[in-house]
A and B are shown apart, each in its own frame.
Chain A
Amino acid sequence: MFDDFIIRAFVAGIGLALITGPLGCFIIWRKLSYFGDTIAHSALLGVVIAHAMNFNLIIAVFAVSCFIALSLLFLQKRTNLPDDALLGLLAHSVLAIGLVLLGILSFIRIDLMGLLFGDILSVNITDVLFVWVGGSIVLIVLILIWRPLFAATVNLELAKAEGLNADLANAIFTILIASVIAISIKIVGILLITGLLIIPAAASRNLSSTPIQMAIISSVIGLVSVVLGLQTSMIWNSPTGPTILAITLGVFILSLIPLKKLLISKKKIELSN
């Protein structure tokens, strides 16, 4: 059944949505949305390297992303520049290096549109495997480091003082983001991946009252958006990645409706009758 590109697209998209849910929550909680962007921008360098050396795209992007993430940790310790300046520095310099290399190595032909916006309909069986195997590993690791990572998210010093290995959890978390971005390049592209991480999580915030609830609901919203987005894009013949993102925005807008309040006031009315 994996012969059908539509089915492959569904399977890959659903797998990706399940990982981006909880990871996106942490990105929002830790105010790291620009970090996701930085990693995604630097992915171009990975793509160029992969093409030049005829290497697996996802692994090359993952390696470059990890390198950028670790560079950031290094720069944070070495300079007093604020994080957003460091991220800007890394994002655009690495993007520039990628473009320079792309120009020099003129034999490389890259589908730039596919890179920027992804093409979920072109994923092959290897990509699907990367999503599900890689994604499962990411989820398991995230569950394993959940407590120190979450405690460090609430208060770094408190987590450290009480003996949790917060620095290690933070470093592992950046690697998880790098892997998810590498996995998702082909599916939603480097310009849209941050959106897929953040928008479902943001919508989920309005519907949840505990952290774990928010992570799960975020995955569900991502999943629904992927399914609806794929179907819509087939009906309207619209680009798939952007369609999925547009649907997540729709869910976010719906999530702003204060359902709980409406339900409570309705109950009150019923009671008073």
Chain B
Amino acid sequence: MNNSLVELNNCGVFRNQKWLVRGVSLKVSQGEIVTLIGPNGSGKSTTAKMSLDILKPDEGTNTIKKDIRISYVPQKISIDWSLPLRSIDFVNLVTKHKTSEINDALGITGIQHLINEDVRNLSGGEFQRLLMARAIAKEPHFLVLDEPVQGVDYSGEIALYKTIQEIVKKINCGILLISHNLHVVMSQTDYVICLNGHVCCSGIPSSVIKDQEYIKLFGSNIDPTLSLYKHNHDHHHLPDGSIKEADKNK
């Protein structure tokens, strides 16, 4: 298809005498959110890195559409003390933006007031929001989010996922999202791939959640109808994490 941004075709990575992940095929198109889930060490980040061409697959092929803007929110970034870096410098890391664009991006993730703060003074959740702001300031065509909400408080988590959905609508980008919790993201996801060294199962969220392979990995005791977000259509989350009418949520 023409609008496909990134395609992995039967990809695998072989390191230190073992396959980190093997036989992964996936496709991310414009305006689509594809979610990767799976336990620790199941090859989610490896798969994301193949889709970014940071890792070359040892078998299979990875194809990335030419001349597209790509943004990446890695799982872990540590900024060393020796590096003086403010939020604004971090947003400008790869592409230089106008101050108004930076303000907008920081505003969307709710940390506009921290624009001149040294990144080492940010809390884990605030830094995660900064990573996200940097990624969306570029208005990417393809956005890879590796566990983007780690360290973000629970209400903020849902608001951030909602922000992600809004970004897709606004800039019509394709997103590859890695998450450990399908229930929080399922209502935003178009397609789910469940990994455990290989593709266990894949499909639209409502079918994956009933798949035997998925239940084996994650258990079935969590009723998908309890999905927090599904109940939240009737009220509003502020991007700074506060929720209007919070009692309805509980």
Choice from A31, A162, A211 contacting B85 with Cβ under 8 Å: A211
- Chain B residues bordering chain A, tally (CB within 8 A): 25
Q: Is A163's CB under 8 angstroms from B84's CB?
A: no
- Is chain A's binding surface mostly helix, strand, loop or mixed? helix
Name the residue on A nearest B76 (C-beta).
Answer: A155
Q: Which of A151, A154, A161, A209 contacts B52 (CB 8 A)?
A: A161
The yes or no answer to B215 lying at the interface (CB within 8 A) is: no
Is A227 engaged at the interface, CB distance under 8 Å to the other chain?
no
Tell me if A160 is interfacial: C-beta within 8 Å of chain B: yes
Given contacts A29-B80, A211-B84, contact A163 B70 (CB under 8 A): yes
How far, in whole Å, are A13 and B215 apart by their CA atoms in the complex?
69
Given contacts A163-B70, A210-B89, A211-B89, A158 and B94 within 8 Å (CB-CB): yes
Is A205 an interface residue, CB under 8 A from the partner?
A: yes
- Docked-complex contact A151 and B94, CB < 8 angstroms: yes
Q: Is the CB of B72 within 8 A of A214?
A: no
Chain B contact residues: over half helix, strand or loop, or mixed?
loop
B68-126 CB contacts (< 8 Å) to partner A: 70-72, 74, 77, 79-80, 82-86, 89-90, 93-96, 118
- A162 and B54 alpha carbons, distance in the complex (Å): 10
Assuming the contacts A147-B94, A155-B74, A211-B89, asked whether A161 and B84 have C-beta atoms less than 8 A apart, the reply is no
B71 touches A210 (CB 8 A): no
Q: In the complex, what distance in Å separates the CA atom of A155 from the CA atom of B85?
A: 13
Contacts of A160 in B (CB 8 A): 52-54
Given contacts A150-B93, A154-B93, A158-B94, contact A213 B84 (CB under 8 A): yes
Distance from B10 Cβ to chain A, minimum over Cβ atoms (Å): 22
Q: Which residues of B contact A208 (CB under 8 A)?
A: 84
Q: Which of A1-40 contact B (CB under 8 A)?
A: 28-29, 31
Return chain A residues, CB-CB under 8 Å to B72: 157-158, 161-162
Chain B residues near A202 (CB, 8 Å)? 82
Would you call A52 an interface residue if the criterion is a C-beta within 8 Å of the partner chain's C-beta atoms?
no
A153 within 8 A of B: yes
Report A-chain residues with C-beta under 8 Å of the C-beta of B71: 162
Residues from chain B with a CB closer than 8 A to the CB of A150 are: 93
